[in-house]
Amino acid sequence: MMRNVVEKLERAITSSDDIEDVVEAVRTCLVARLTLRGWLPEEAMAVNAEGYARHLLHRDPAGRFTVVAMVWGPGQRTPIHDHAGVWCVEGVYSGCIRVTSYDLRARNGKRCRFEACRELTQDIGCAGALIPPVEYHVIENPEDIPAITVHVYGGELETCNVFEPDGDGYHTMVARALSYTSSCEEAAAK
């Protein structure tokens, strides 16, 4: 069933040359599948007690997109981060997540000051999108049960910038290499 999802995502990715149109087509495709069960491999639903899990589901051979399942244990969250210029569609497969978006208010080298501008709590079937430069956000699981989100990135997200609080209202930007908790590509291809 994942193969069918990938085929539909491929069509969405190639549907237009306009990035906003592509992202909306991907969001529509993902939303239509978030309430369906059985297409995520069992391995892609495993919680990581040490932090949220990133399970690779599909890496497009042409490098156009990547599909990742992320599993959030109770209370797990990201720091404020960006997507290093890569667009993303994020949708809830199970549980509930809270996404807080931030506006960059000041920057001095690697020191940044942010202001929270929007907070959304999303349940199963909901999906949002990030198109850089609007990309600063935190994702967290506010519930006491695990949550699973599916992310479609406009390429391979290998690094991002995280913003560590300095204690004076500013955050220091730190580049972070990203890795996968597991690769479920073979299981997902079935």
pLDDT, position 185: 73
Amino acid at 57: L
pLDDT, position 177: 95
Please say if the pLDDT value at position 101 is more than 80. Answer: yes
User: In this structure, are residues 101 and 78 in contact, taking their beta carbons and an 8 Å threshold?
Assistant: no
- The C-alpha atoms of residue 50 and residue 75 are separated, in whole angstroms, by 11
- The C-alpha atoms of residue 67 and residue 154 are separated, in whole angstroms, by 9
Interval 2-13: pLDDT, tens: 888 899 999 999
User: In this structure, are residues 77 and 147 in contact, taking their beta carbons and an 8 Å threshold?
Assistant: no
Q: For residue 92, give every residue at least 6 positions away whose Cβ sits within 8 Å of its Cβ, in sequence order, or none.
A: 34, 122, 123, 124, 125, 126, 127, 147, 148, 149
Percent of the chain surpassing pLDDT 90: 88
**Sign of the dihedral defined by the CA atoms of residues 52, 58, 61, 65, in that order:** negative
pLDDT averaged over the chain? 93
**pLDDT band of 184, cuts 50, 70, 90:** confident
Interval 14-72: pLDDT, tens: 999 999 999 999 999 999 999 999 899 999 999 998 999 999 999 999 999 999 999 99
Other CB atoms within 10 A of residue 74 CB: 13
pLDDT, position 47: 93
Domain ranges of the chain: 2-188
What tokens does 96 get? 């509930």
Q: Which one is the CATH code of 2-188: 3.30.360.10, 2.60.120.10, 3.30.465.10, 1.10.10.10?
A: 2.60.120.10
Angle between helices 19-34 and 2-13 (to 10 degrees): 160
94-113 average pLDDT score: 96
